[in-house]
Amino acid sequence: MTLPLKQVRNHFQQINKPLVLLALLTPFTTYLVMQFVQGCSIFDFSLLAIVGNSLCIGVVFFALFALIGNVFISSLLCHLLFGIFGAANYFVSIFRGTPVLPWDFTALQTAAAVAGSYDLIPTWRMVFVIAILLAMGFWVYKKRPASLLHFMSWKFRLGSLAICVCLYSVVAFSSLLSSPTFKPDVWNQTQSYKQGGAVAVFLRNLEFLQVEEPTSPSLEELDQHLSALPISEQTQQTPNIIAIMNESWADFEEFGNLSLNKSVNSYISSLPNSIWGHCYTSVFGAGTSTSEFEFLTGNSMAFLSSGSIPYQQYITRPSSSIVSTMKANGYRTVAIHPGEETSWQRNIAYPLLGFDAFKSQETLDVPIEMEREYISDATSFQQIIWEFENKAPNEKLFVFNVTIQSHGGYTDKTYPAEVTLTDAPGQFPKAEQYLTLASKTDQAFPLLVDYFSQQEEPTIILMFGDHQPSLEQEFLDKAYGVTQDKMTMEQYMDKYRTPFVIWANYPLPDSSIPDTSLNFLSQYLLRYSGLPQSTFDQYLWELHKTMPAMTFVGYTDAQGNAYSHLETNEFTPLIQEYRALQYNNLFGKSNRQGQWFAPLALP
């Protein structure tokens, strides 16, 4: 039955219009606060971005209102929650180069474990927003205006819930978020969050939780190509093998733009019977497990989602790796990481990759020395020696050591800087602290060289950096010799460049290794160790001759020219082939071609 017009008018007159206005404006103002806190300017906003994000935020706001029943408190909480999200995007982008992504929530324990080592200093934008929210709360507390403190009846709360459901339907089931405005730029997520809005682009990233299956080439075409690969030569050397992924190990000196009071890699870079070179990674500032994944498996992050965490998303069953190759050839395989056992879920991923044992900070067998709040590289290297001394006679040993000494952030004011910039001493305290830690690595490495030089059993050692550290941007500009906004593609890839060294207590090939990437670097270790390569390994070896480096950021050709993945060129078919092969390896399920990835054993 229809209400008389007078009753309808009286009903609406009872509604507090300021509260209605506050409710309608909250999703919009919350969006502005969130974007403002993460460093956006008003010129980053488009009308569609405002509408799309406001609708997404509206779902949360009206759900809060339905739960709490008070418009003002719900509005305040909404601004606070999304303001924190904006601040998190700002800090995470600074530390690792990408904002908060959906799969980050599977790594909250790891993030919490290292958060204390970073300086989370609020920006003036954050302080401004906090001050406004506190002032609003204080004003309401003092004035106690009945209109703002009034708790609505269940009818209004049910109405709010109905609005919440309607907005959710628009967001989830309409084509609104499929607009190009909200499409994530997987190679620059931070810019996507600024232009498309953090909430909407975050939600669009959910589609990358599933990796899209490539349509070509077919399995038959791949098999035909793999069958034509040349067979690799093998030897009976089978040395003990030590691979060290050194935390944040970089070579800023190679660019020739820094003046330091002492070199930080002087020992390692000039080591006799060694090969010194550089490789490219797929992450900057953070994402250690990503580099582990590329090195151990030969897979590339180029074909996976930006900021994804392979150990938690893709290594969910026994997976082929250089570790499984070692096991197939009779090696005992040990992983060492002097950090928390559960970081990046290594305790789950390592057994699936083929490791027999995993030593973490809780289970080290040697006395522990600290550099700042982290276990030193010297301790890591002593643990490697312990593993060698306690292995069974005639047992071959493979050790994979992920160090932690040089982990960011570099803000311990009690830690003395032994390495300084002679032309700007004290100007970049984070950089000088990092360089001091890198120097400690150079001083610790002789522990391994001196020890294994005296051993009769052949042993080969590879050490490489997982990514460059997150330091003052002005220092990085100085080191690279160019600001980021003026970088060429080759210079941009320099941000993802780290050193490596290969040393053995037996003669190594008298040659250098061209700049490569982590997914290819492990192939050199297999070759120099005389171990057989799987079909997939042979494929990677042949591919790297044409494209020596392949990362999430880009790739290089044999002449050292760098290319973006956004380009289409003569390398595109090779990239598509690699992508299809990797997809079958990681996600093939019933049609996975196990014979391509199965490890081979020496006769």
Q: How do residues 50-79 score in pLDDT, each as one tens digit?
A: 999 999 999 999 999 889 888 888 889 999
How many angstroms separate the Cα of 503 from the Cα of each of 248, 275, 332, 482? 20, 7, 21, 33
State the pLDDT at residue 5.
47
Identify the CA nearest to 477 among candidates 252, 246, 191: 252
What would the two tokens of residue 481 be?
Answer: 């010799």
Identify the CA nearest to 223 among candidates 602, 603, 595, 599: 595
Beta strands, E only, 454-504: 459-465, 497-504
What would the two tokens of residue 575 be?
Answer: 């990239």
Instruction: Check: CB of residue 197 under 8 Å from CB of residue 52.
Output: yes
Amino acid at 498: T
State the pLDDT at residue 160.
86
370 vs 440: CA distance, rounded Å: 11
Identify the CA nearest to 33 among candidates 95, 68, 76: 76
Q: What is the pTM of this model?
A: 0.77
- pLDDT tens, position by position, 175-195: 888 888 888 776 577 888 888
State the pLDDT at residue 514.
92
3 state DSSP class of 451 = helix
What would the two tokens of residue 557 be?
Answer: 């050709």
What would the two tokens of residue 384 be?
Answer: 């490697």
What would the two tokens of residue 24 be?
Answer: 């309608």
Any residues with CB less than 8 A from the CB of 269 and at least 6 apart, and which?
Answer: 251, 263, 276, 499, 501
Instruction: Check: CB of residue 424 under 8 Å from CB of residue 359.
Output: no
Phi, psi of 513, rounded to the nearest 5 degrees:
-115, 125
Instruction: Check: CB of residue 333 under 8 Å from CB of residue 355.
Output: yes
Place of tokens 């930006």: 306
Instruction: Check: CB of residue 336 under 8 Å from CB of residue 380.
Output: yes
100 vs 260: CA distance, rounded Å: 35
Instruction: Check: CB of residue 229 under 8 Å from CB of residue 542.
Output: yes
What would the two tokens of residue 385 be?
Answer: 């020696």
Any residues with CB less than 8 A from the CB of 512 and at least 6 apart, and which?
Answer: 275, 276, 277
Q: Where are the alpha helices (DSSP H) in 3-123?
A: 5-13, 17-37, 47-68, 71-96, 108-115
What would the two tokens of residue 423 be?
Answer: 């032309």
406 vs 428: CA distance, rounded Å: 16
Low-confidence residues in the chain, pLDDT < 70: 1-17, 42, 96-97, 103-119, 143-150, 186-187, 209, 232-236, 603
Q: CB atoms < 10 A from the CB of 506, how many?
A: 12
Any residues with CB less than 8 A from the CB of 387 and at least 6 apart, and which?
Answer: 334, 336, 359, 397, 399
State the pLDDT at residue 109.
58
State the pLDDT at residue 17.
67
3 state DSSP class of 260 = strand
178 vs 175: CA distance, rounded Å: 5
Amino acid at 62: F
